[in-house]
Structure 1
């Protein structure tokens, strides 16, 4: 994950071609089960799927800025693939110079209640 952080030139950037700005979400799935990650713009929405993260792996997902909640908060819904468990994160503030980090922590049967999401200052690339 450190290598992917160092490779990021910024966490708030435009996608090439579309002009849409995105936020970086670094996901560390520490469990056995694969998970789908959804951005939740409103508390009652089903969310927009951002991607799937395999068990015991890491991924960098891009969240379109228009999927943030009012005020710039990011909330995600994590669901086990083929399972019955899901977890909704607290809102974390993201923006220019800030990345979101999601640690998916699962119990042996796939419960996600120990998962954590937080924000941190994006590392600056070495010059």
Structure 2
């Protein structure tokens, strides 16, 4: 059974490295139910706007998304991810925001058929917290 004494015992036994995440979780519980962080709402709104712009008249939208996160002190996302997909012309685009120790990576993946459907091109761009990015692309033969 949960009680304050047991919670104090658990907190006292935590390793130092876990204190920031535990503090964030407890601060997040001060308002119940917890509110999502502001930056997550902005990401979701931008993704929804992209999905709506990518929908073709007479088609169904396929802008799936999901994820989870752990809060740190001050409402900062410490760990977790959030992703969303949308269409840009003939490419499906999946944008994922990943968080580790409060640092965010943004991964944008694209997949599309090329060569009359005989090839599948996959590319991604990873952007780090300092705005450095890495781009890769590969095409797979899917004709067979």
What's the TM-score, normalizing by structure 2? 0.28
Length-normalised TM-score, structure 1: 0.30
Which structure: larger Rg?
2
Tell me which of the two structures has the higher relative contact order, counting C-alpha pairs closer than 8 angstroms and 6 or more residues apart. 1
Q: Write 1 or 2 for the structure with the bigger share of helix.
A: 2
